Chains A and B, each alone.
Chain A
Amino acid sequence: MSVLENNKNGSADEELLKRFRPASEAETVRDVSKLGEEDLVKLRQTGVVLDAGDRLGTFLQTNCGVTKCECQVHGVEMLPITEALKKYDGLSEYWWKLVSPGKDAFTRETERDLDNGYFIRALPGQKVVYPLQTCLYIRSDNVAQRVHNVIIAEEGSELHVITGCATRPHLTSGLHIGVSEFFVKKGAKLVFTMIHNWGEEIYVRPRTGIRVEEDGIFVSNYVSLKGVKSIQTFPTATLTGARALVRFNSVIVAPEGAHIDSGARVIHEGPESKSEIISRTISYGGTVIARGHLVGKAPDIKAHLECQGLMLSERGVIHAIPELEAHIADVDMSHEAAVGRIAREEIEYLMARGLSEEEATSTIVRGFLNVKIDGLPRELEEELQAAVDECHKGM
């Protein structure tokens, strides 16, 4: 059982919650045109583009209110979750089915007083290759934003969602709680890319559950490169159907002062299901806990876990915690973990090709962070590179 579930910090969590006011007490922004230039820049840096025509579907929530919710894609439904609950009679098949409301103080808080969130559903057989975007934005100081999201990829559908989570520059404090429940039905595919771009004083508590049915595919890409006070995220995917496949890729940079407790769990209940958890983490003085937990309960499954950590400062901490748990004999489960500084011979190899030590280090770090990110737009890749380069300047 993970630390997150054990939650020995229950009372500390309650204390943390008390420090913030509900997002509903903060201003709401009902239209994109009401956002300022610095908001737009920050959102762009988080992969959220609000110019007309760039994305076919956009959900943007600022504090507690919906700023934009528009989707032009045939066969895809996008609604604020509060509307979806009304329309679908409480979404009883999906609501709180993959995350337990009693899990911890944050889920209890979200159940008690929800701000909003998004609902996205791809109808059966609809394949949408253009990414839809969602964004949860905190714009006011000292706010606790509580959202609950549901994504449903119906049978045989395909859906790509990019979600950017950010705070307005210079906020002095904030808390984001995001409960997410994703359902990938028979033969469906969901690619979910999340970019975190919070501020240095922000606490972030995503609570995510995913269910993947027979022949379904779920791919999660998670990127967090900027300063943040504390992130605690541990999505759990249950592969209920045969041949279901899930892949978690994450790229995490912890600057000084950041505490990022991240990872993923995959429970294999379907035979011949496959999973892969790959994380690349860098500490520039902050703390990263890179978890991975694979649970094999069905025959002929294949599960692999890889944590690679680079220590680029003498002060930080990288703590890799890979766990393999087999309940039957007929499983193929493995893990690899390596943490350390950049190998001297790699730096010298590049120096022999004419790069300075600094350029060589930066090239290796860029390569290290170059986890293949499925469906990531070009401008976002550039942003990622720029962020990495920026991290380097201070070294």
Chain B
Amino acid sequence: MLKIQDLWVDVQGKEVLKGINLEIGRGETHCLFGKNGSGKTTLLMTLMGFEGYKVKHGNIIFKGKDITNMSVNERAEMGIGLSFQRPPTLRGVKLRDLLTICAKDADRAVSLALSYGFEDFLDREVNLGFSGGEIKKSELLQLLAQDPDFTLLDEPESGVDVENLNVIGEMIKKLLQKDIHRNRTKSGLIITHTGFILNYVTADRGHVMLDGKIMCQGNPLEIFEGIQKYGYQECIKCQF
């Protein structure tokens, strides 16, 4: 589904990603661990195609097509969706309108909001005065409405209280088709620096990013345990 080949990316003239190689198959969920500042968010922003993330070298292949120079909305149309860690506030734009944009159908937008108990937020301005958990819920609702084939999740558990983590987990499972066990078609890449999201969502493979490079790959739970025990220091030493 997604193939990243020797990807080098600059942000504001600074080299942040230094030769990333990563392949995520159809129906797979991968988890990307790494300290703050290691380049995880830069990778997601680059995959989505945002301005300011300059690809210096390498390619991004999605569904067999080179999307390295495609615009953000073309990528969205092709089936990539992103849950932002800190999305901007859109003054005067109601969540109802944004969900309708995502779903391309006002009724479906409303019924989704209803099914996750978010109907009171439909007429609120997008992200204005939302709590951490509400922001994540709103992001995931937008993605559920959008129904992407490939979902990028940037720290989906950050700022969410324990009570809401369950709901967030359920929403992610739905997005990534964790409710079916065969022939999943939806793939995902989850960024996490704490790893706690793995208590709610299973992943097929884990990767550790350090200083713009992927240093280690393997079973996500084992990686998570290692990081919990030894911190990222161990990964620096290990170098598989």
Give residues in A with beta carbon < 8 Å to B. 308, 343-346, 348-357, 360, 363-364, 366-371
Contacts and interface: CB of A to CB of B under 8 A. Distances in A.
B71 A351 contact: yes
Contact of B73 (A308, A351, A366, A367): A351
A386 B50 CA distance: 30
Given A363-B101, A367-B125, A356 B73 contact: yes
Contacts of A370: 92-93
A355 B101 contact: yes
Contacts of B88: 343, 345-346, 349
A356 to B, nearest CB: 5
Interface string B73-85: 1001100011010
Given A344-B52, A360-B73, 6 more contacts: A349-B84, A349-B88, A351-B76, A354-B76, A367-B91, A371-B92
A355 B98 CA distance: 10
A136 to B, nearest CB: 30
A127 B198 CA distance: 60
Residue from B84, B91, B125 with most neighbouring chain A CB atoms (10 Å): B91
Scoring B48, B84, B92, B125 by chain A CB atoms within 10 A of each residue's CB, the highest score goes to B92
20 contacts: A308-B91, A344-B51, A344-B52, A346-B88, A349-B87, A349-B88, A349-B90, A351-B72, A351-B73, A352-B48, A352-B81, A353-B101, A353-B142, A353-B146, A354-B76, A354-B77, A354-B102, A354-B146, A363-B97, A363-B101
A271 to B, nearest CB: 30
Contacts of B73: 351-352, 354-357, 360
B80 to A, nearest CB: 8
Nearest to A363: B93
Nearest to B84: A349
Contacts of A344: 51-52
Interface residues of B, number: 26
A8 B77 CA distance: 58
- Would you list the 6 A-B pairs with minimal beta carbon distance, nearest first? A367-B92, A370-B92, A367-B93, A351-B72, A354-B76, A351-B73
Nearest to B101: A353
Contact of A348 (B50, B92, B93, B101): B50
A191 B192 CA distance: 52
B51 A348 contact: yes
A367 B124 CA distance: 12
Contacts of B92: 366-371
A354 B90 contact: no
Contacts of A308: 91
Interface in B173-223: none
Nearest to A344: B51
A345 B77 CA distance: 19
Contacts of A366: 92-93
Nearest to B45: A348
A369 to B, nearest CB: 7
Interface string B84-128: 100110111100011001101000000000000000000001000
Contacts of B102: 353-354
Contacts of B104: 354
Contacts of B51: 344, 348
Contacts of B90: 346, 349-350, 363-364, 367
Contact of A352 (B82, B91, B97): B82
Nearest to A343: B88
A368 B93 CA distance: 8
Given A344-B51, A346-B88, A367-B125, A352 B93 contact: no
A369 B48 CA distance: 29
A350 B125 CA distance: 14
Contacts of B82: 352
A367 B126 CA distance: 10
Nearest to A308: B91
A30 to B, nearest CB: 43
